[in-house]
């Protein structure tokens, strides 16, 4: 789908969080993001689309996420000046969990999309 890497919930979370590069796995920001992903990504197989990092040249995925209609905000986490929001979108037989983060020291991207076909 959309020429994106595919993996289980556990694999896409691991790839996104990159624990091998984190200096402090007990940092509240890291733990908060890990909690949000483990809690709000339903079990299953996902395609991960990160427009700022790995997939910036992927026009199909970019067009798909730009066409998403209003999503539902399902979670919010804040620690000091860093905050994360989790929104859910449903488009046809596809569910998208979008994780947005602001002021996050782990990456420069603003939103990562976890795309799951039903």
Q: What is the mean pLDDT of each run of 10 residues along the chain (118 residues)?
A: 85 88 84 91 91 71 86 88 89 90 64 89
The boundaries of the domain holding residue 82 are 6-117
Strand order in the sheet with 82-91: 6-8, 45-49, 111-117, 94-102, 82-91, 72-79
**108 near 117, Cβ under 8 Å?**
no
| Domain count across the chain | 1
Whether residue 1 is contained in a domain is answered as no
C-alpha to C-alpha distance for 14 and 12, rounded to whole angstroms: 5
Whether residue 45 is contained in a domain is answered as yes
Secondary structure class of 85 (helix, strand, coil): strand
Q: Rounded to two decimals, what is the model's pTM?
A: 0.83
């Amino acid at each position: 789908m959309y020429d994106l890497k595919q993996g289980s919930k556990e694999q896409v979370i691991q790839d996104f969080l990159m624990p091998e590069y984190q200096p402090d796995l007990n940092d509240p920001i890291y733990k908060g993001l890990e909690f949000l992903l483990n809690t709000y990504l339903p079990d299953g197989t996902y395609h991960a689309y990160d427009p700022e990092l790995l997939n910036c040249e992927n026009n199909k995925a970019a067009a798909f996420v730009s066409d998403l209609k209003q999503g539902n905000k399902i979670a919010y986490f804040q620690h000091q000046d860093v905050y994360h929001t989790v929104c859910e979108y449903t488009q046809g037989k596809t569910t998208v969990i979008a994780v947005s983060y602001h002021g996050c020291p782990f990456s420069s991207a603003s939103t990562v999309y976890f795309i799951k076909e039903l």
